Chain A
Amino acid sequence: MATVTIKNVWKYYGETPAVKDLNITCPDGSFVSILGPSGCGKSSTMRMLAGLEHISAGDILFDDQRINDLAPKDRDVAMVFENYALYPHKTVYENIANPLRLRKASEDTIKARVTGAAKLLEISHLLERRPHELSGGQKQRVAIGRAIVREPKLFLFDEPIAHLDAKLRAHMRGEIKHLQRTLGTTMIYVTHDQLEALSMADYIAVMHDGELQQWGTPAEIFNHPVNAWVAGFVGEPAMNFLTCDIKGQGDDVLLRHSNFEIPLLPGQVRQLNGAAQAGTARMGVRPDALSISMTRPDEAAMQGEIFVNELLGGDMLVEVQLDDCRIRVKTTPEFEGKPGENCFLSVNRDKWHVFDAGDGHAYF
């Protein structure tokens, strides 16, 4: 159990910065996900936490202890690797027992802990097998078993379920989250899959190009992204972006596109704070904040042509050609529009976002 503080940390590979001035505080016992595309610096961050890479600048603290110069074995962290990294020549039992053996635990303790961990992970029947006799999901459980058997200060999970098939991945998401709650150990979980981060974490750190973009709870990240990049990365299907003009008209402020003119809500006008008055901006709206109909619901509706319908089981995703761009709308499978037909879209203005056209930061 530890509070992990990452203070002004930089990581350079040669001249190339991989992590730029990172500041994160992970509260004791929390489940923190570091989310970002490949090459965003999330794995470098994790490896610096584990002690597998040197920290180029800045400090990492576990509680009040600075761990920059400690060897991995002295940091009391446990890590689960993307490719599991099991010892191929050892049985499952010996793999899980390894951290305890290295710490010279007594044989009784080892047996008790290994069988306990195996029971928790439902792999008791596999203890005598070797890694090559296991399926991907089983290997992953063994890797987790090896991590939890020692009761470390901090868990580091590096995309542990990225290689599992979709169904097993969904199952393991729940398992890992439950495990973390049960053990109450601080966990830092690196992933590129926004769904994993949103569904499992207490807090998410979104990284891009080595920089922390946003820190917050999953709901904050999803509902109030700080910039257009975060808004576009988080959420599936992805947010729609439309470049619009901002135009004052009497007391109203309108978002004007070649296809539509929609006034902002009064609170949103205040949040805009005059900054982007009479300029261009990017309007962002998630597919589920739009509704589609075949008849014009009101004057402000956007008008387009259905490009394609995708049935996603319980939902239908409709791609609509809106002048020169396409936007995606989530609707029910009962929607009857056919490709090529005219349709109308109305937007839930409580759930839309406006981003600066230049640096992409969010006004709301």
Chain B
Amino acid sequence: MASRDVVSYDTPLSRALKVLAGLFLALYLVWTLLPFFVMFVSSFKDLLEAFKLPAVGDWAGITVFFEFTPTFKHYTSLFTENSFGTYILNSLIAAGGSAVISVIFGSLAAYSLSRVDFRGKQDLFFWIISTRMAPVVAVMVPLYAIFRSLDLVGTLPGLILAYTTFNLPFAIWILKGFFDNVPFAIEEAQMVDGSTRFQAFRSILPLVAPGIGAFVVLCILFAWNDFLFAAIIGSGGAKTLPVATRELVQPQNIQWGSIMAAGVVTTAPMMLLGLVIRKYLVTGLTMGAVKE
């Protein structure tokens, strides 16, 4: 196998570009991380301290930002005065439930589309993905009407169903690519060895595991961060973290401290998830693209 090194030689131009790239990356880091940093620090500040900001141009005054007595009161109030425990559970159930359902039906559908030839297959496949082409808001009103007539508004099953509607086409689309890359001969060997078609399907699931893993993460992220569905379909009985956070903004009283704390509570689990499965996520998202 040939070396995979990308050979490059220094020129004055490339050195200048390197410096520029470094500068750009530094700015980009500040731009993306600063909001999280402000959120995290502010969640431990009292209301007054949170608004102690230096004047514009006063770079020395930046220390003011760090002058505060850390307090956990916003976090405790989230779980005592508000029922954030329930909301976290709701978010978990809605995200996890739709991910599990989407993976089960998605892998079955993707396997069929990958393996079986039938008339109108291309059209069906296009139709499945075309359901993702309309923006969510466009279908929100009819979807709400349907859900209300089925008594699904404000319930967790309703929210799971809504997320699944949007995740399933995505699952089929991603997983079909992974199944396409598994040689037919492996299943055929299984079937000759003595398994049924379904057992053969199950036997190749480990080979598409990176794809399934990547999809589950994307699916959970979509549901966990979603606001629109949660606000309209889930409102009332199935309140999730983003909606609950939004409700901390009240006409007379914007609870900045609690909002920041809620932001941390909402963000932290997904960041941790991302760190844990980062390696698999990257293999999953690139493996489908490159045929071995």
Contact between chains at B196 and A73 (CB < 8 Å): yes
Complex Cα distance, B248 from A331, in Å, reads 97
CB < 8 Å A-B pair total: 61
Q: Which residue of B lies closest to A82 (CB)?
A: B185
Q: Which residue of A lies closest to B197 (CB)?
A: A71
Contact between chains at B192 and A72 (CB < 8 Å): yes
- Does B194 have its Cβ within 8 Å of any Cβ on chain A? yes
When distances are taken between beta carbons in the complex, the residues of chain A under 8 Å from B186 are 85-88
Scoring A residues 65 to 79 as 1 if CB is less than 8 Å from chain B, else 0, what string do you get? 000000111010111
Scoring B residues 178 to 199 as 1 if CB is less than 8 Å from chain A, else 0, what string do you get? 0000010110111111111001
Picked from B185, B196, B199, the residue with its CB within 8 Å of the CB of A85 is B185
- Does B203 have its Cβ within 8 Å of any Cβ on chain A? yes
- Does B135 have its Cβ within 8 Å of any Cβ on chain A? no
Q: Which residue of A lies closest to B206 (CB)?
A: A89
Contact between chains at A83 and B185 (CB < 8 Å): yes
Contact between chains at B199 and A102 (CB < 8 Å): yes
- Does B146 have its Cβ within 8 Å of any Cβ on chain A? no
When distances are taken between beta carbons in the complex, the residues of chain A under 8 Å from B203 are 87
Interface residues on chain A, size class: 20 to 34
Complex Cα distance, B186 from A88, in Å, reads 9
Complex Cα distance, B191 from A51, in Å, reads 9
- Does B207 have its Cβ within 8 Å of any Cβ on chain A? yes
Complex Cα distance, B207 from A86, in Å, reads 12
When distances are taken between beta carbons in the complex, the residues of chain B under 8 Å from A89 are 206-207
Complex Cα distance, B183 from A77, in Å, reads 21
B156 CB to closest chain A CB (Å) equals 35
Contact between chains at A81 and B189 (CB < 8 Å): yes
Picked from B188, B194, B199, B206, the residue with its CB within 8 Å of the CB of A81 is B188
- Does A98 have its Cβ within 8 Å of any Cβ on chain B? yes
Complex Cα distance, B193 from A85, in Å, reads 12
When distances are taken between beta carbons in the complex, the residues of chain A under 8 Å from B206 are 89
- Does A103 have its Cβ within 8 Å of any Cβ on chain B? yes
Complex Cα distance, B203 from A86, in Å, reads 12
List which B197-213 residues lie within 8 A (CB) of chain A.
199, 203, 206-207
When distances are taken between beta carbons in the complex, the residues of chain A under 8 Å from B188 are 50, 52, 72, 79, 81, 85
Complex Cα distance, B193 from A50, in Å, reads 10
Contact between chains at B192 and A79 (CB < 8 Å): yes
Contact between chains at A99 and B183 (CB < 8 Å): no
When distances are taken between beta carbons in the complex, the residues of chain B under 8 Å from A98 are 190, 193
Contact between chains at B183 and A102 (CB < 8 Å): no
A106 CB to closest chain B CB (Å) equals 16
- Does A11 have its Cβ within 8 Å of any Cβ on chain B? no
Contact between chains at A102 and B194 (CB < 8 Å): yes
Contact between chains at B195 and A78 (CB < 8 Å): no
Contact between chains at B207 and A88 (CB < 8 Å): yes
Contact between chains at B191 and A52 (CB < 8 Å): yes
Contact between chains at B196 and A79 (CB < 8 Å): no
When distances are taken between beta carbons in the complex, the residues of chain A under 8 Å from B191 are 51-52, 71-73
Complex Cα distance, B183 from A73, in Å, reads 19
A352 CB to closest chain B CB (Å) equals 44
Complex Cα distance, B196 from A311, in Å, reads 54
Complex Cα distance, B207 from A62, in Å, reads 34
Contacts A71-B191, A87-B203 known; 17 new A-B pairs at CB < 8 A: A72-B188, A72-B191, A72-B192, A73-B192, A73-B196, A75-B192, A78-B193, A85-B185, A85-B186, A85-B189, A87-B189, A88-B186, A89-B207, A98-B193, A99-B193, A102-B193, A146-B189
Which 9 pairs show the lowest CB-CB distances between chains A and B?
Answer: A85-B185, A102-B194, A99-B193, A85-B189, A72-B191, A73-B194, A79-B192, A89-B206, A81-B185
A-B contact pairs, 9 of them (CB 8 A): A50-B192, A73-B196, A77-B192, A81-B185, A81-B189, A85-B183, A85-B189, A87-B186, A102-B194
